[in-house]
Amino acid sequence: MDLVLEEIRKMAVEIVKESKQPSFYNDYKELIKRSEKFFKTDPFVGKVKNDVFEILEYNLGHGIGHAKKVAVEAGVIYVAEMKKAKTPKSEDYLLAIAQTAGILHDICRKQKDHAEKGAQYADNYLPYVLKDNKNIEAIVHAISNHEAFCSHYNEPPSFEASVLSDCLYDSDKFRWGPDNFSFMLWAMIEQTDITAAQFLSGYKRGLNALREIRNTFRTPTGKKYGPEFIDIGIDIGNRLYDRISNEFNIFSS
């Protein structure tokens, strides 16, 4: 990362630290803690992480850190939504399925049509670690439908698969809020050799993409909390825009 981009990254991280935390983290504090502990300690989830770690380590800014965030919060949303549906499934069961989907969802991020390619990867991999075909189908379906602004949408094989798909999508899109400016954007830049000029030329376009994602959340939980994530992200982006303009005399036209 060149010196200008490194300075901009530091500005962004400072602004994120000063910004409001999404209320999702307070309202679901205890369930988030349980999901985080499950992610760290569950043997099955640990095996999945170990099996794909090397693939995710260098993954266009969507590596193991991104996968963990998506997995943990997809688990939270899935438990919340399935409890509303009065499912007899245990919390651990729901967390295992959602977190597996979260770990694998960007496994083919570097490829064109990465959601479909990732679903194919999961369909080939999961039979080695999962015996229940319905769970495999649900995870594969969720991965195939997690991409934003995608014209296709595969029909869910079951109610559980439909809910899981929407939970994975919403957790993934939560990352378009503060996380985008704290780590994800800069990891992508480091792994693609984007120059400062390229970053700055596409800055406004990037903020417009944030605005477009705001109304795409799918679950009731996502629709309640997702727009706030995006609004905080947009505010951070606008404040960063002003800092760049003032300190580097850029965007003046």
pLDDT beyond 60 at 252: no
Q: What is the DSSP letter of 126?
A: G
Confirm whether 253 is domain-assigned: no
Q: Is 8 exposed, middle or buried (0-12, 13-18, 19+ CB in 10 A)?
A: buried
Lowest mean pLDDT among 109-113, 117-121, 169-173, 240-244: 109-113
User: CA-based Rg of the chain, rounded to a whole angstrom?
Assistant: 18
Confirm whether 201 is domain-assigned: yes
Q: How confident is the model at residue 152 (pLDDT cuts 50, 70, 90)?
A: low
pLDDT confidence of residue 250: 65
pLDDT confidence of residue 251: 59
Q: pLDDT (tens digit, 9 = 90+) per residue, 192-211?
A: 878 888 888 888 888 998 99
Confirm whether 21 is domain-assigned: yes
Confirm whether 207 is domain-assigned: yes
- Count of structural domains, the chain: 1
Confirm whether 95 is domain-assigned: yes
Q: pLDDT (tens digit, 9 = 90+) per residue, 46-97?
A: 999 999 998 887 776 778 899 999 999 999 999 999 999 998 899 999 999 9
Q: pLDDT (tens digit, 9 = 90+) per residue, 162-199?
A: 999 999 999 999 999 999 999 888 888 888 878 888 88
Confirm whether 252 is domain-assigned: no
Lowest mean pLDDT among 122-136, 150-164, 173-187: 150-164
Residue 199: count of CB within 10 angstroms of its CB? 18
pLDDT confidence of residue 1: 67
pLDDT confidence of residue 221: 98
Residue 71: domain span: 3-247
Say what the alpha-carbon torsion angle 148, 2, 59, 236 is, to the nearest 10 degrees. Answer: -40
The amino acid at 182: S
CATH of the domain at 201: 1.10.3210.10
Average pLDDT over residues 125-149: 93
| Residue of 3 and 252 predicted with greater confidence | 3
pLDDT confidence of residue 253: 47
Confirm whether 184 is domain-assigned: yes
The two three-digit tokens of residue 233, written as one number: 């992200």
Which of 131, 130, 156, 132 shows the shortest CA–CA distance to 142?
156
- Do 136 and 119 form a contact (C-beta atoms < 8 A)? no
The two three-digit tokens of residue 235, written as one number: 């505010």
| CB crowding 160-171: b at 16 or more within 10 Å, else e | bbbbbbbbbbbb
| Residue of 3 and 36 predicted with greater confidence | 36
Taking every pair of C-alpha atoms in the chain, what is the biggest distance, in angstroms? 60
Average pLDDT over the chain reads: 92
